[in-house]
């Protein structure tokens, strides 16, 4: 293992304690950094209290820590202001929030454009909105290389289109969306743009203002932070125009026997007790990420991805899903070996201390478009090393032999 990878790996408690584990499932859940764990433990041990409206010192300290985490998330995304950050329980909750809150501003005949490459979290909520309100739901198809086929955007994007909601990076193929082309086309018809950033954030800070999008969602457990917390970013004027999704404590301005009025964003969208310690932990993880040498990390991840793709292409009958070149994808690599079920492959690999994921990856429309029911996925993170790619390729050779 290289000195750099070893140094990074030792910063993750589970990996440091299991030097023989080859963890290649970071697209599902990345390992948590020790700084995030330390931040949560410190918070719970020294300032555990609820946020908002507490007038004693402990509660004020909790308020400060929670809002500092919000400010860090805003910097990580290059957001305009901290109050454009809404904390949720994860990307799924963030996407559902938009589908309900922004969706409540839509009417029958309005169009939402998604793609066949979406995770179910950015697919099913829009199907349900269509059932509730009668909106039109249109799909961007998949191109031959596994990337979104944007050639038909002029026909799909008419004046009735109010929102384009697509993945920033596929959780199956690793294909990156051509955000600039998509945003330019959406702006020509006045449509808003939402990006599901769950898979992109693990590979570095994002620039929502530079991309000129309107909504961005991600989960803490994908970017070396805790589970149970996520982020929704949106432009301040859009948040102010949307009704709440969930109601309860903390999100109201006033309640009478007849009517309730709402708090200003972001509190309007944070009903009940939020994930306070998790947000603090996420803030620590994002702060750490912003200090990393991302150009060097991207080069290493690209090299490992190319190494894996080259090795996979030597396995007879194996089909690589998505772009064939590593430069066209994030380091997420899925494949199908006809006659071998992904669950069986993953179980055999587990005997070699290799952790991969097999199944439909909550992206059944995408897999249907690719012509497979399930696939095996390996995902590379900043703590992955060449030795782990070699172990995977050796493990796959063994799996093919024992399963055929």
Are 303 and 282 members of one domain? no
The answer on 302 and 226 residing in a single domain is no
Can you give the pLDDT at residue 53? Answer: 85
For 308-355, what is each residue's pLDDT tens digit? 999 999 999 999 999 988 788 999 999 999 999 999 999 999 999 999
The verdict on whether 362 is a catalytic residue reads yes
The per-residue pLDDT for range 364-394, each reduced to its tens digit, is 999 999 999 999 999 999 999 999 999 999 9
Question: Residue 146 falls within a domain, yes or no?
Answer: yes
Q: Identify the domain boundary among 267, 290, 313.
A: 290
Residues 312, 286 share a domain: no
Split into its structural domains, the chain has a count of 2
If pLDDT is split at 50, 70 and 90, which confidence band does 280 have?
A: very high
Report if residue 15 sits inside a domain.
yes
In this structure, the answer to whether residues 198 and 132 fall within a common structural domain is yes
Which residue bears the tokens 């790996």? 9
pLDDT bin (cut points 50, 70, 90) of residue 3 is low
CATH number of the domain encompassing residue 376: 3.90.1150.10
pTM of the model: 0.96
Q: Is residue 81 domain-shared with residue 109, that is, in the same domain?
A: yes
Total Cβ atoms within 10 A of residue 109: 10
Q: Containing domain of residue 140, as a range?
A: 36-290
Considering the domain architecture, whether residues 15 and 112 belong to the same structural domain is answered as no
| 15 shares a domain with 66 | no
CATH of the domain at 220: 3.40.640.10
Beta-strand runs (E) in 143-222:
161-167, 192-196, 215-219
30, part of any domain: no
Name the domain boundary from 255, 273, 290.
290
Same domain, 281 and 326: no
pLDDT at 1 over 80: no
Strand 357-359 relative to strand 375-379, pairing: antiparallel
Domain membership flag for residue 361: yes
Residues 105 and 7 in one domain: no
13 shares its domain with 149: no
Domain final residue pick, 275, 290, 305: 290
Quick one: CA dihedral 119, 122, 125, 127, positive or negative? Answer: negative
Distance CA 60, CA 31 (A): 31
8/148 same-domain check = no
Provide the pLDDT confidence category of residue 6 given band limits of 50, 70 and 90. confident
| Given 223, 305, 362, 375, the catalytic residue | 362
pLDDT attached to residue 327: 80
Same domain membership, residue 229 and residue 281: yes
């Amino acid at each position: 293992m290289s000195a750099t990878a070893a140094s990074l790996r030792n910063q993750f408690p589970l990996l440091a304690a299991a030097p023989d584990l080859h963890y290649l499932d970071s697209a599902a859940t990345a390992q948590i950094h020790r700084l995030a764990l330390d931040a949560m433990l410190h918070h719970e041990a020294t300032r555990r209290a609820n946020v908002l409206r507490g007038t004693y010192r402990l509660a004020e300290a909790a308020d400060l820590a929670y809002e500092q985490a919000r400010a860090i998330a805003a910097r990580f995304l290059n957001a305009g202001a901290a109050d454009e950050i809404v904390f949720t329980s994860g990307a799924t909750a963030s996407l559902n929030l938009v589908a309900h809150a922004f969706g409540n501003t839509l009417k029958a005949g309005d169009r939402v454009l998604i793609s066949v490459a979406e995770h179910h979290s950015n697919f099913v909520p829009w199907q349900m909105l269509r059932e509730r309100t009668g909106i039109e739901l249109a799909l961007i198809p998949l191109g031959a290389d596994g990337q979104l086929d944007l050639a038909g955007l002029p026909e799909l994007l008419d004046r009735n289109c109010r929102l384009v909601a697509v993945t920033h990076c596929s959780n199956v193929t690793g294909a990156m969306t051509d955000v600039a082309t998509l945003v330019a086309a959406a702006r020509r018809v006045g449509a808003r743009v939402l990006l599901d950033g769950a898979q992109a954030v693990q590979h570095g800070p994002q620039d929502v203002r530079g991309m000129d999008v309107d909504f961005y969602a991600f989960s803490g457990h994908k970017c070396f932070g805790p589970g149970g917390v996520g982020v929704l970013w949106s432009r301040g004027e859009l948040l102010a125009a949307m009704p709440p999704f969930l109601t309860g404590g903390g999100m109201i301005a006033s309640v009478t026997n007849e009517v309730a009025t709402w708090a200003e964003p972001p509190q309007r969208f944070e009903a009940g007790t939020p994930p306070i310690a998790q947000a603090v932990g996420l803030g620590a993880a994002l702060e750490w990420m912003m200090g990393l040498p991302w150009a060097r990390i991207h080069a290493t991840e690209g090299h490992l991805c190319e190494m894996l793709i080259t090795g996979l292409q030597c396995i007879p009958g194996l089909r690589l899903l998505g772009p064939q070149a590593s430069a066209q994808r994030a380091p997420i690599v899925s494949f199908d070996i006809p006659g071998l079920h992904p669950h069986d492959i993953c179980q055999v690999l587990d005997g070699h201390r290799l952790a991969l994921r097999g199944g439909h990856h909550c992206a059944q429309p995408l897999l249907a478009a690719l012509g497979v029911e399930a696939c095996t996925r390996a995902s590379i993170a900043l703590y992955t090393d060449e030795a782990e790619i070699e172990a995977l390729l050796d493990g796959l050779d063994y799996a093919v032999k024992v399963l055929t």
